[in-house]
């Protein structure tokens, strides 16, 4: 069973630092948030794979 298309997306991209402390901070916040989204996506993909293994009794 393949991963659903809804979990095969790029949730965000990395952000630049800009030229000011403020933009640097914003870039950091956006990029860390982006990492969190990617991590979440990966967790859900892993969860989906585990559930499919259980459902179809596939070997690990």
Partner 1 sequence: MNLRFHCFLLVLSFLVFWVLLVALSIKVLMMLTTVVKKMLTKPLVLALLFFISLSGLFGYASYHFYAEKQLVEERLDVSEANAKLLSSALLKAEKARELADTITSEYVFDSKDIITSKEDVLNKIDELAVVVEAVKQDAFTKEEKNAIKYVPLDGNLPISIRGLLAEACLHAKGDSCDNSK
Which of 6, 14, 59, 60 is in the footprint of partner 1 by CB under 8 A?
6
- Cβ 53 vs Cβ 3: under 8 Å: no
3-class SS letters over the chain:
CCCCHHHCCCCCCCCCCCCCHHHHHHHHHHHHHHHHHHHHHHHHHHHHHHHHHHHHCCCC
N residues, the chain: 60
Q: Contacting partner 1 (CB under 8 A), which of 35, 53, 58, 59?
A: 35
With binding defined as CB under 8 A, does residue 8 bind partner 1?
no
Rounded least distance, CB 16 to partner 1, Å = 15
Site residues for partner 1 per CB under 8 A: 1, 4, 6-7, 11, 21-22, 25-26, 28-30, 32-33, 35-37, 39-41, 44, 47-48, 51-52, 55-56
């Amino acid at each position: 069973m393949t991963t659903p298309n809804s979990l095969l997306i790029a949730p965000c991209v990395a952000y630049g630092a800009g030229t000011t402390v403020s933009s640097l901070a914003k870039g950091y916040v956006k990029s860390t948030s982006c990492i969190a989204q990617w991590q979440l996506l990966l967790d859900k993909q892993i969860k989906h794979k585990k559930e499919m293994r259980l459902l179809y009794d596939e070997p690990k």
